Amino acid sequence: MSDDKDERRRSKAVPTSRVGRLARVARLAGGVAGGMLAEGARQVRAGNRPRRRDLLLTPANARRVTRQLSEMRGAAMKLGQILSMDTGDLLPRELADILASLRSDATSMPEEQLDAAMTQAYGSDWQSAFRMFDPYPIAAASIGQVHRAVAHDGRELALKVQYPGVGESIDSDVDNIAAVLRISGLLPGEVDIQPLLDDAKVQLQDEANYLKEARFLARFNEVLGEDERFVLPELVEELTHRNVLAMTYVAGGPIDAIARRAQKERDRVMTALVDLMLTELFELRMVQTDPNFANYQYRWSSGDIVLLDFGATREFRARFVSNYRKLAAAAVAGDRDAMAVAAEKVGYSIGDEDSRYRELVLELLLLALEPLRHDEPYDFAASTMPARLGELGQQATRFADFWHAPPTDVVYFHRKLGGMFMLAARMGACVNAHALMQEWL
């Protein structure tokens, strides 16, 4: 009974109209400004002369930003996730930490909105489409929430139900949230993230189209169906609609819990996931780019790796994959001249020849690809690479070229790469990524 009460308490209606969502953004901006004034007055009374940044990034403002974006869900929450992962070296670390908290579960929608969403998909008598439907979600995220159900043929189902109004509000949400970040000073004025924002709109529109995710799910099942390392849900096409994705239910436990298992098992699982990432890019040209650990689960009894949620899958052009392969090959060989040529073809602004900025960009790329460069198991937990990347990134911010938006294809693939690194570090895994990469070079 207490679980039901907790779930009802966490439920909160998703604002569906454009005016209603804009009002939330305006309230967020006003709340942040009010928090700055209050903190400024407190600091002055204490005899301090605080910086604007210190007033802006208070714990109270952090909670305010996180709560509002979480309650809005949709593109507002997803943009926070994207910015925290992909431009963390451009944003103040405190803001990146605020936005990173949005990777956890969102608030679920109340029964009235759930009923409206199910009615849209199956009609007013939607309950008759299932032998059983559990109204309490087992997961809630930025675009939709997941419910257990049972089909009339006895199959256990997972239904991903989209929040109402999310698809229609993507463009305005992205623009409004970006404006708040800019006006409030949370985003440095030099940063041109417009190409990233434009691409985020396209990506989010794709994620909100569950028919497209259904195609990705079917494709991954086709490719990995014979791979005994992985278990995937199967698409239930006859019950799938644009706003409800129906899949078979597959059970598993948190993937990072295997940190408690033997080193050999941790290394095996992480090697399989890195191998999958390389296969996605170089063979399929289709990468599930969401780094959320919840997208991977583990079966303790069999050692199977469960793969979930293909909404953030991105298709890459053959030319990008070819040029990125050349960049990786040059990095493995330590050939800086070939790296510079490949990096420009991929889309990086690398500065003038023999410039300090060009050297910094190449050092950053060599460092980001460090696990590929040594033919030995790479100890992710012991690696100091994130700290070294941060130091180099800070040096690069002194150059005007740095503030050009990074190539969006690279941003999305490195989002996956960064997620794999963090998961491997959390697991305490060692992987010979160099050996895995040789197959593709």
Q: From first to last of the 441 residues of the chain, give the pLDDT tens digit.
A: 434 444 444 565 554 455 555 455 555 544 544 444 454 445 545 555 545 445 445 556 555 565 555 555 545 555 555 555 444 444 455 555 555 554 445 567 888 889 999 999 999 999 999 999 999 999 877 778 999 999 999 999 999 999 887 777 778 777 776 776 666 555 556 566 677 678 778 878 888 899 999 999 999 999 898 899 999 999 999 999 999 999 999 999 989 889 889 999 999 999 999 999 999 999 999 999 887 788 899 999 999 999 998 988 999 999 999 999 999 999 999 999 999 999 999 988 887 888 888 888 899 899 989 999 989 999 999 999 888 887 887 787 777 666 566 678 888 898 889 889 989 998 999 999 999 999 998
Burial class (CB in 10 A: 0-12, 13-18, 19+), 4: exposed
Query: What CA dihedral angle connects 4, 8, 14 and 20, to 10 degrees?
Result: 180
Q: Is the pTM of this model over 0.85?
A: no
The CB-side HSE value for 360 (13 A sphere, CA atoms) comes to 20
Euclidean distance between CA atoms 70 and 107, whole angstroms: 7
Two structure tokens written together for 271: 């090697």
Beta strand extents in 269-424 (DSSP E only): 286-288, 296-298, 305-307, 313-315, 378-379
The predicted structure's pLDDT at residue 166:
77
- List the chain domain ranges: 2-108+165-207, 252-441
The token pair at 253 is 């436990």
Q: Which residues are catalytic?
A: 290
Residue 217, pLDDT score:
95
